[in-house]
Amino acid sequence: MTKQEIAQDIADILEKYYPETPVPLDHKDPYTLLVAVLLSAQCTDERVNKVTPALFELADNPLAMSQQSVGDIKAIIRPCGLSPRKSQAIYDLSHIIMDEHGGVVPQDWQALEALPGVGHKTASVVMAQAFGVPAFPVDTHIHRLAYRWKLSTGKNVDKTEKDLKRLFDRELWNKLHLQIIFFGREFCPARGHDPHACPICSKYGRKTLFD
């Protein structure tokens, strides 16, 4: 089989197991999603979802958040880790959204990536899940799985993103991003993984534990 045919079969397997792909981070609009994704860096979605109710009760829009102190934000988000940096980023980006974007999260790659604490991956999630723009956010989990499934050489996340975009149809990117995350959590963990029992690794994956 060609790599393209393998990719299509993997997409079919993912669709079989995860036909529905709810966004795992609780949010109500682009701003709350942006903040939640920022908090998810080096933190689990589950923990973020436990922290954001209190944070969004304090402030759930850029105007309200910009009126809070960095210390008050930090006190709430401390369980997510990296709280000094994340709280400052949330405070700063809220001011920028108010001052430069009329209080609205910009639907623009360059403007999003220019916000404090927002890199390409975070911008990709917001563009895909808040605005429906085709994107293929690649975090460390997708990077690992793409290598394990021989869809990418695994050099870096940028290379993995380009490889996945070449292999899969553009209209599938947003859903595949979530399907791969869900599949990895259930069937293809980083450690303690049995490749022979995995619906994808048993067919196409590398048969050694390398993580």
Mind spelling out the 3-state secondary structure of the chain?
CCHHHHHHHHHHHHHHHCCCCCCCCCCCCHHHHHHHHHHCCCCCHHHHHHHHHHHHHHCCCHHHHHCCCHHHHHHHHHHHCCHHHHHHHHHHHHHHHHHHHCCCCCCCHHHHHCCCCCCHHHHHHHHHHCCCCCCCCCCHHHHHHHHHCCCCCCCCHHHHHHHHHHHCCHHHHHHHHHHHHHHHHHHCCCCCCCHHHCCCHHHHCCCCCCC
Rounded to the nearest integer, the mean pLDDT of the chain is 94
Domain at 3-21+136-204, CATH class: mainly alpha
Residue range(s) occupied by CATH 1.10.340.30 in the chain: 30-129
139 is catalytic: yes
pLDDT digits (tens, 9 = 90+) for 132-161: 999 999 998 899 999 999 999 878 999 999
User: Model confidence at 207, in pLDDT bands (50, 70, 90)?
Assistant: low
Residue with tokens 């990077």: 143
pLDDT digits (tens, 9 = 90+) for 156-206: 999 999 999 999 999 999 999 999 999 999 999 988 888 889 999 999 987
User: Model confidence at 209, in pLDDT bands (50, 70, 90)?
Assistant: very low
pLDDT at 8 over 70: yes
pLDDT at 210: 44
**pTM for the whole structure:** 0.92
pLDDT at 53: 98
Residue range(s) occupied by CATH 1.10.1670.10 in the chain: 3-21+136-204
- Residue pair 10/149 in contact (Cβ under 8 Å)? The answer is yes
99 is catalytic: no
pLDDT at 107: 97
Question: Which of the following is catalytic: 86, 139, 163, 175?
Answer: 139
pLDDT at 211: 40
- What percentage of residues in the chain have a pLDDT greater than 90? 89
pLDDT digits (tens, 9 = 90+) for 25-36: 999 999 999 999
Question: Which of the following is catalytic: 121, 150, 175, 207?
Answer: 121
Mean pLDDT, range 49-77, rounded to an integer: 98
- What percentage of residues in the chain have a pLDDT greater than 70? 98
The domain made up of 30-129 is a member of CATH 3.30.1520.10: no
Report the distance separating Cα 85 and Cα 119, nearest Å.
Answer: 14
pLDDT at 28: 97
pLDDT at 1: 84
